[in-house]
Structure 1
Amino acid sequence: MTLVFSALALSMVVTSISGFGFMENRAARQKHGSEMAFQMAEAGIEYYKWHLAHDETDYQDGTGQAGPYVHNYYDKDGNKIGEYSLNITPPPAGSSIVTVESIGYTVAYPNTKRKLKARIGFPSLTDYAFLTNSDVWIGDTEAIHGKLHANGGIRFDGTTDSIISSAKETYTCKTYHGCNNQTKPGIWGDGTPQDFWQFPVPAFDFNGITVDLADVKAGAKSAGVYLSSSGFKGWHLKFKSNGTFDTYKVKTLYSIPSPGYGKDVNGVKHYESYDIKTETFYKNYAIPANGLIFVEDLTWVDGTVRGKATVGSGKFPVSPATYTSIAIPNNIIYVNKDGSDVLGLMAQNHVLIPRLSPNILEIDAAVIAQNGSAQRFYYPGNILDSLTIYGSVVSNGVWTWSWVTQGGSIISGYKNTNTTYDANLTFGPPPSFPVGNGYQLISWEEVK
């Protein structure tokens, strides 16, 4: 009896171990299958990123049909070992962001699936806190939070927390930047940290912005808001917190006190004022679904912004004699700073801050001075306290909000300027704003 019992017990132990080993092996295979499914889902994301690189506006995987789109996945020997299934969501109006959902699974374990969701888009021109086609001087009272790039040279005496780059290895620093036509490195100055300085780097091409402004006009005329000549001095657009904006025809402007002019960054005297004296209400508009507003006249913009909009100002056919500008007479404030509220200002010529601007001014916007400069003219003795910009500034010409002596003392403009890049702009720019070339992966996540 003892021998028989022992044999039976041994048999049960062997069977138990064998069963445990089988289950452990099956669990290991399932885990491997799950890992392979994840790799297949990743392959689906990479495939569609590649597909968009070759056909930027195809959101149907070359089929012309609605998804999902199923692709086989092969091992190195050409054996099919799984599949990935794709669902593609095209970008919303005014955006470049494509959403790709990829589900991967193996032939061996078709019910063990992994799902990834990725956002792919073009980086925006507004990927920079500042971008200029000229030289720039960041003074010792200025702070830049975000990338700065100049096709010209940079005198950097301020502070930053991101990359500062110049297309120049060396350049001639002009008198208006505190030099006497001296040869300087592409980036130089007393600013910090210098580890962020990069030069020379490839230059940015400003010529393509013309096409984008024409697109804003076309979109505004077809499905947005289009304003032709005011018949007076220009149009004033005042945004409101309810997602609408009021329009006014600007009738008269204040005169400029002695000496009767403002001087721009090129030394040109401007006797015309940009300060509104009288205006007449015209109409209230809702921000259109495509977000596009185009004004064929000088334009003033301020107010509280709810929603996404781009205001373009220009005249076509393009001629330097008829370039129009955008002036910012008062605060521009977003209701939310989470990317849901975005304003773009695209001026054919300058983006200006007038003489009678507030002592403390905030501008929440991405602004582009296509052929001119983002600037506040030199008004002798007109010194103000602080300017805060939340967004991005793109200026073809020399840009400045402040005027200083060669010793660095403020003699006109804002004593303190603080620019913070709105990170939502990189892949969520204002409608129809210029974007770079080539899709980039913005983000991805696993969806359970």
Structure 2
Amino acid sequence: MALATVVAVSAILFLLATMVIILANLLTTNTQSQEGRTKALHMADAGLNAYLYELRRDPGYYVTNPTLGPTSQDDGVWTVTAEAPALNEPLRLTATGSIPGLDVTRTVVASVRFPTYAEYMFLSNADLNIGADALIDGKIRSNGNVANAGEVTGKVSASGSVTGSGTFGQGSEGNVPTIDFSQVTVDMANMKSVAVGSNAYFSGSGGYGFRVVLNGSSARIERVTGGTGTGNLTTTLIRSLTVPSEGVLYFDEDVWVQGNYSTMVTIGCSRDIYVADNLTPSQPNRPFTCGLVAARSVIVPSWYPSMPQFMTLDAAMLAQTGTIYGDYRSGVTKSKITITGSMSYNTFGYFALYTGNTVTAGFRQRAYLYDPRLELYPPPYYPMLRDGSLKVSTWVEQ
């Protein structure tokens, strides 16, 4: 009886010891597996950060380097591949990290966008002075100083100082890097090349320039033959076209723009752009945006007979070497201009002329509203900031 008891106890102890050993091995294996998965994820993240570093130095890095790696790091390996973005889509990066010794692999996919000049309601290459009666909806940024006595709903940034007793809705920051407006030349050359390739480039008009009348997804291109001194333009038709899938029209002479759009479109110009009538989306709730990019200035001639009393201008506008302003004549006033979009310029411009406290020319009321769609849906080929900043909009493990 005693012997049987000893044998039974020994068997139980043996089973318990075996179970403990098996459990310990399982725990060790699970721990190693978990550590391996964590390390593999860190590898993928390291590869992603390495590629982002290159993109910050060169936004076009993905064109000549669609793959980075495989690169060994510690006891792991990472590889990153880039998928060139389609029109207005983000750049897609796929980073794979592996731990060969543990046979573990993890993959992360990130969507990356390059900030454009359309990130800001106002982006100025000069000082900005905001008056006490001003209400600006959106972020502003200056390569000089900002003095704010009004109200800005977004963040105020300046390469110099930010001062003033006004309202800073999202705070302020000084001593930020400057934006190099000269680099817009690179983007404009790219726009021109794209327009040439899609048969949407116009050089000599044989007149005073061109007029573009947008109508949904089409554009009527006209030659301006006269009337620039009176505001009653006379034109002849050059041709009508559907806005190309690339979304760019480019002109090497002055261009007058008006109409409504139901597609993404950017109008580039090596001289001045005039907006002499309403320019609006035909479907305001859709993610369609319009860009006006001028090598010189963007001008709103308030004295033109075609100018409505209540002017509406929905576009991201950029004046590389000039300004965005209202061209006015003494004694000619209009009720209001509402700009919904973005304004980037070399020097500050005005939309009204005051005599004392009275507007004697231009627009009696002005409203500047940032279009938040521009953050995700900037106009086609709109100039990039090239300040080393990136926007990682998604980071998802596959």
**TM norm structure 1:** 0.74
Within 2, Cα distance between the matches of 1:206 and 1:153?
Answer: 17
Give the letter for the 1:244 counterpart: S
Within 1, Cα distance between the matches of 2:392 and 2:47?
Answer: 16
Within 2, Cα distance between the matches of 1:230 and 1:61?
Answer: 37
Q: What is residue 73 of structure 2 aligned with on the other side?
A: 74
Residues 17-416 of structure 1 correspond to what in structure 2 (within 5 A)? 17-52=20-55, 57-59=60-62, 70-75=69-74, 81-92=75-86, 98-110=91-103, 112-120=104-112, 122-168=114-160, 187-188=163-164, 190-193=165-168, 196-199=171-174, 201-241=176-216, 243-253=217-227, 272-273=229-230, 275-276=231-232, 278-314=234-270, 323-333=271-281, 335=283, 341-355=288-302, 356-379=306-329, 380=331, 382-390=333-341, 392-404=342-354, 407=357, 410-411=359-360, 412-416=362-366
Alignment RMSD:
3.4
**Cα offset, 1:393, TM superposition:** 0.6
**Cα offset, 1:94, TM superposition:** 8.2
Say whether the 8 Å CA contact 2:187–2:381 is kept in structure 1: no
**Cα offset, 1:386, TM superposition:** 4.8
Within 2, Cα distance between the matches of 1:168 and 1:244?
Answer: 44
**Cα offset, 1:39, TM superposition:** 0.2
Give the letter for the 1:36 counterpart: K
**Cα offset, 1:365, TM superposition:** 1.8
Say whether the 8 Å CA contact 1:121–1:427 is kept in structure 2: no
Within 1, Cα distance between the matches of 2:288 and 2:201?
Answer: 21
Within 2, Cα distance between the matches of 1:371 and 1:33?
Answer: 55
Say whether the 8 Å CA contact 1:94–1:432 is kept in structure 2: no
Say whether the 8 Å CA contact 1:142–1:416 is kept in structure 2: no
**Cα offset, 1:40, TM superposition:** 0.6
Say whether the 8 Å CA contact 1:51–1:61 is kept in structure 2: no
**Cα offset, 1:427, TM superposition:** 8.6
**TM norm structure 2:** 0.82
2:102 counterpart SS class: coil
1:438 counterpart SS class: coil
Gaps of 5+ in 2: none
Moved over 6 A (4+): none
Query: How many residue pairs align between the two structures?
Result: 390
1:123 counterpart SS class: coil
Within 2, Cα distance between the matches of 1:187 and 1:426?
Answer: 30
Within 2, Cα distance between the matches of 1:388 and 1:211?
Answer: 27
Q: 1:56 to 1:297 in 2, by over 3 A?
A: closer
Q: 1:202 to 1:108 in 2, by over 3 A?
A: closer
Q: What is residue 267 of structure 1 aligned with on the other side?
A: none
**Cα offset, 1:343, TM superposition:** 2.2
Within 1, Cα distance between the matches of 2:236 and 2:14?
Answer: 99
2:11 is matched with which residue: 8, 12, 17?
A: 8
**Cα offset, 1:116, TM superposition:** 1.0
Q: 1:74 to 1:226 in 2, by over 3 A?
A: closer
Within 1, Cα distance between the matches of 2:58 and 2:131?
Answer: 45
Give the letter for the 1:35 counterpart: T
User: 1:101-123: CA deviations, max 9, x gaps?
Assistant: 0111212332x432111234543
Say whether the 8 Å CA contact 1:224–1:289 is kept in structure 2: no
Gaps of 5+ in 1: 76-80, 170-185, 255-271, 315-322
Within 2, Cα distance between the matches of 1:149 and 1:128?
Answer: 7
User: 1:23-81: CA deviations, max 9, x gaps?
Assistant: 2332222111111110010111122234446666454886xxx86x6524332xxxxx2
Give identity over the alignment, percent.
22
**Cα offset, 1:207, TM superposition:** 3.2
Say whether the 8 Å CA contact 1:370–1:396 is kept in structure 2: yes
Give the letter for the 1:329 counterpart: D
Higher mean C-alpha displacement, 245-254 vs 303-312: 245-254
Give the letter for the 2:240 counterpart: N
**Cα offset, 1:287, TM superposition:** 2.0
